[in-house]
Amino acid sequence: MKKIMLVAVREFMATVSTKAFIFGVLFTPLLLLSLAVLLPRLMDDAPPKVAGEIAVIDPTGLVGGAVASHLAPEALAARREDQRRRIAAAAEQAAPVGKEVARQAAESALGEVPRLRVAVLDPGTDIESAKAPLIAEADAKGDSGRLAVVVIHKDAVQRSDPSTAFGTYDMFVRGKLDDRVEDEIRRGVREAIIEARVERSGLQRAVIEGLTTVRAPDSRTVTKKGESRTNEVANLFVPGGFMMLLLLSVLTGGQYLLMSTIEEKSNRVMEVLVAAVSPFELMTGKILGQMAVGLLVLAIYAVLGISALALFAAFGALDPWLIVFLLVFYLLAYLTIGALMAAIGSAVNDVREAQSLMMPIMLLTMLPWMLWVPILRDPNGALATTLSFIPPVGNFVMLLRLSSTAAPPMWQTLLSIVVSAVGVWAALWFAAKVFRVGILMSGKPPSFATLLRWARMG
């Protein structure tokens, strides 16, 4: 037992202290997390203050004044407040997504209120000469001078023939004008034109808006546990995330186990090792060591995932039992796949030879990944139920079902665990037999049939 632990500790340390592991497994998620935390803060940095003049050439004489009032600082501030309220409401609607995050996002997307002066030029002004100041440098006080020239079309407000479309307007802007400011100007001009058109038609704006608005519905999911706000994102991505987490950690541990076994074989360390420990002790130690590696990966990504959920204030949606099941299914899935990986690693001479033997195992683990959506659409259907009892696929499918909205019956969960445990036992038995024969074999790469013969030999 002591020797097993020695092998396990070395295996774990040798794996996690490599640069590849630190960068690939530890550094990447930490980088992602820190970006997720830092980026909004960085974007909080408001864009530079914008001050300048908007020139309007309005041959209709109906729009210019309205543009001036719509682009006045107070009007801009009011419109922004309105938008903010609407985004907050939408965020509320999308349920537990954090309000704070949404507010921050809205804030940074809008930028600071620009200080715009509107100059209505004489309708006969030459467009070219009006455009000239757009190229001029900004003065020291931060006023950019002329920012944009808006040229309203003659038929923008009144049509000569009702069957034709209304005219629009042309806009010329200074280079490097913040896109948010440009949007602001467009919105102001648009509002001014619509107002003018509505007024000319003798209608009332408020009436039209009232007629054309339908508020978003309040969608609720009805389950045995009661009603809750529908959260489609969470419904699909929380189970998917759990399965991904399981798959990722199982495959990380399994891959490292395969590689280290092949390395020991091709390095010729194997014979020294089996002179010191029995093949079974060696295999067990290696499997345990990489199990710890997988658990470390699992823990890192789980913490990352939970932090992400907490960030969106959706932590409450998580059932703590899921964490327990995640651990249980990790152990079952890892031990099955890890044992097979150890067997394959012991039987081949290099990674290339391992590929062909790995194919069936990789397909098995990819199956739930490919069937993720159909399983979630019908978590208690025939497909999902059948797959739940095939190790090691069952571990992934069961976790997917447990984290879905329609939890499977308890007996199915327990039966799946029992079936998987039997699978673990069979895989370990097979691996122990193959490992003992395989580690000292060299030459022709074995097929699965050869491995089975080795297993029967012992």
Asked if residue 277 binds another protein (CB under 8 A), the reply is yes
Task: Out of 113, 270, 398, 419, point to the residue binding another protein (CB under 8 A).
Answer: 270
CA separation for the pair 454, 451 (Å, rounded): 5
- Interface pick for another protein out of 46, 272, 362, 418 (rule CB under 8 A): 272
- In the complex, least distance from residue 442 CB atom to another protein, rounded to whole angstroms: 9
- H/E stretch holding 151: strand 143-152
Secondary structure tally for the chain: helices H, strands E: 19, 6
Q: How far apart are CA 125 and CA 172, in angstroms?
A: 15
> Could you tell me which stretch among 21-29, 59-67, 272-280, 360-368 binds another protein (CB under 8 A)?
272-280
Q: How far is the CB of 300 from another protein (least distance, A)?
A: 23
Which residue in the set 3, 84, 103, 153 belongs to the binding site for another protein (CB under 8 A)?
3
The verdict on 371 binding another protein (CB under 8 A) reads no
Q: Does 271 bind another protein (CB under 8 A)?
A: yes
Of the ranges 23-31, 132-140, 268-276, 408-416, which one interacts with another protein (CB under 8 A)?
Answer: 268-276
Q: Which of 14, 88, 105, 351 binds another protein (CB under 8 A)?
A: 14
Q: Which is nearer to another protein, 214 or 275 (CB)?
A: 275
- Structure-token match 């280290």, residue found: 260
Does 278 help bind another protein (rule: CB under 8 A)?
yes
Angle (CA) 344-282-297 rounded to 5° is 70
User: Smaller CB distance to another protein: residue 309 or 437?
Assistant: 437
**Residue closer to another protein (CB basis): 4 or 149:** 4
Q: Which is nearer to another protein, 210 or 443 (CB)?
A: 443
Supply the minimum distance, in Å, between the C-beta of residue 6 and another protein.
5
Write each residue from 279 to 318 as x if it is in contact with another protein (CB under 8 A), else as -, in one continuous string: ----------------------------------------
Applying CB under 8 A, the span of 48-56, 57-65, 152-160, 270-278 interacting with another protein comes to 270-278
| Of the residues 141, 176, 215, 268, which one makes contact with another protein according to CB under 8 A | 268
40-66 as b/e, with b when 16 or more CB fall inside 10 Å?
Answer: beeeeeeeeebbbbbbbbbbbebbbeb
What SS3 state is found at 53?
Answer: strand
Is residue 269 near another protein by the rule CB under 8 A?
yes
Residue count of the chain: 458
Q: In whole angstroms, how close is the CB of 285 to another protein at the nearest point?
A: 10
Q: In what order do the strands lie in the sheet with 115-121?
A: 115-121, 51-57, 143-152, 169-173
Closest approach of Cβ 12 to another protein, in Å?
Answer: 13
For residues 418 and 347, give the distance between their C-alpha atoms in angstroms, rounded to a whole number: 29
Strand 220-223, strand 226-229: pairing: antiparallel
DSSP state of 159: -
Nearer to another protein, 127 or 440 (CB): 440
Annotate each residue in 436-455 with x if it binds another protein (CB under 8 A) or - if it does not, as one string: ----x---------------
- CA-closest candidate to residue 218, choices 93, 85, 88: 93
Residues binding another protein: what is the number (CB under 8 A)?
Answer: 21
Of 51, 75, 233, 273, the residue at the interface with another protein (CB under 8 A) is 273
| CA atoms within 13 A of residue 339's CA, in its CB half-sphere | 21
Beta bridge partners of 120: 56
Q: Under the criterion CB under 8 A, does residue 79 sit at the interface with another protein?
A: no
Cα 443 to Cα 435: distance, rounded to the nearest angstrom: 16
The continuous run of DSSP H or E covering 147 comes out as strand 143-152
**Residue 288 Cβ vs another protein, minimum distance, rounded to whole Å:** 15
Nearer to another protein, 10 or 79 (CB): 10
Stretch touching another protein by CB under 8 A, among 26-34, 275-283, 305-313, 342-350? 275-283
**Sequential DSSP letters for 99-140:** HHHHHHHHHHHH-SPPEEEEEEE-TT--HHHHHGGGGSPPPT
Q: Is 6 in the site for another protein (CB under 8 A)?
A: yes
Distances from the Cα of 426 to the Cαs of 266, 339, 387, 392, 431, in angstroms? 27, 9, 18, 12, 8
Could you tell me the smallest distance in angstroms from the CB atom of residue 315 to another protein?
41
Contact positions vs another protein (CB under 8 A): 2-3, 6-7, 10, 14, 18, 264, 267-278, 440
